[in-house]
Amino acid sequence: MSRSRAGGAAAANWLARLLNLVPYLLARPGIRIADAAADLGVSEQQLRDDLRLLWVCGLPGYGPGDLIDMAFDGDRVTITYSAGIDRPLRLTPDEALSLVVALRLLAETPGVTDRAPVERALAKLEAAVGERPPVAVRIPGDADQLQRLREAVGQRRALELTYYSARADRITTRVVDPLRVVVVGGHGYLEAWCRTAGQVRRFRADRIDALRMLAEPAAPPPQARPRPIERGIFQPDAALPLVTLRVGRSARWIAEYYPCEQVDDSGPDWVVSLRVTDLDWARRLVLRLGPEVTVLAPVELAEAVRAEAAAALEAYATPVGLAAAAAAAD
């Protein structure tokens, strides 16, 4: 079944099922896998996949005595060690305080569209902790860098940036006319008119290697307007390339991390479709994930990935390439 932008919901449902699975099985030792699958509303194959995942979950240390264990008798399963997952969670004061600080930060972050669940969780935690701890919430990142960017915006001064672009994987120097500084998802961004690109661009503060405030005033053109951030920093557009990937279990995080137009989670390998700023960025993503990802579309992306992988294999086949590989292994 294909679902539009369903990656987050699918991951949440999967996590909830795993958390409930151990106490469910503890209360029904020796239950038939088929009966358990029917009760939980999943296929037998999905339940077996969940059980295989539980086998490598447990307590820190993750040795043989720390992991959840179970016994199979034909088509029946019994939990023999729960690793404490069936017990209510008890937070230490430091753990509770950390969660309170994180939730306050999330509630105060621009772009969070539904604050009600965050505020409810925060109220429950603060009630459990007791008196509201006097902790100042600091936005993560380079505070000095953000302050300098805010000064440039306030003084309406042009900036020269040396910036690392993760999308293009290169460092460039450019002059920009600042519009505003925003914080979204725990990262600070400068939104500015980029004179090189001739467009409004966002520059992540922690990727600015150097900045210099120029004597000239900022002079953004009349069409330069801040872009909405309510739905996040990256907002897919129908004009952007659409990429379709088949992803294995360890790469399913793509459906959670990136805004996807479609997620088909009906099989062991998911099929996800997402818009990308350019195919060069998509090529690097696919190469980084290796065999966990297969490009289904577009054809030019599949060909680019295939060509670069073939070139890498050919380089390893040469004496120089073999020597480099041996040195890296050492």
Helix (H, G, I), strand (E, B) or coil at 10: helix
Determine the pLDDT at residue 212: 94
**Which helix (DSSP H) or strand (DSSP E) does residue 11 occupy?**
helix 7-26
Determine the pLDDT at residue 244: 95
Look up the pTM and report it. 0.44
Name, in order, each residue with C-beta under 8 angstroms of 47's C-beta and a sequence gap of 6 or more.
Answer: 33, 36, 37, 40
Per-residue pLDDT of the chain (330 residues; tens, 9 = 90+): 444 444 545 555 677 777 788 888 888 889 999 998 898 888 888 888 888 888 777 776 656 667 788 888 888 988 887 777 666 556 666 677 777 777 777 666 655 556 677 777 777 776 666 544 444 444 444 677 888 898 999 999 999 999 988 666 788 999 999 999 887 766 788 999 999 989 999 898 888 999 999 999 999 999 998 877 655 666 667 888 999 999 998 888 888 778 888 999 898 899 999 998 788 888 988 988 888 899 999 999 999 999 988 888 887 776 555 455 455 545
Determine the pLDDT at residue 227: 77
Sheet holding 31-32, edge to edge: 31-32, 76-81, 69-73
Determine the pLDDT at residue 91: 66
Rounded Cα gap, residues 187 and 184, in angstroms: 6
Determine the pLDDT at residue 256: 78
Q: How does DSSP classify residue 258?
A: S
Determine the pLDDT at residue 327: 53
Determine the pLDDT at residue 328: 52
Name, in order, each residue with C-beta under 8 angstroms of 99's C-beta and a sequence gap of 6 or more.
Answer: 91, 125
Nearest to 141 by CA among 192, 100, 202, 184: 184
Q: For the chain, which domains are there?
A: 2-81 (1.10.10), 93-129 (no CATH), 143-217 (2.30.30), 242-319 (no CATH)
CB 241 within 8 A of CB 298: yes
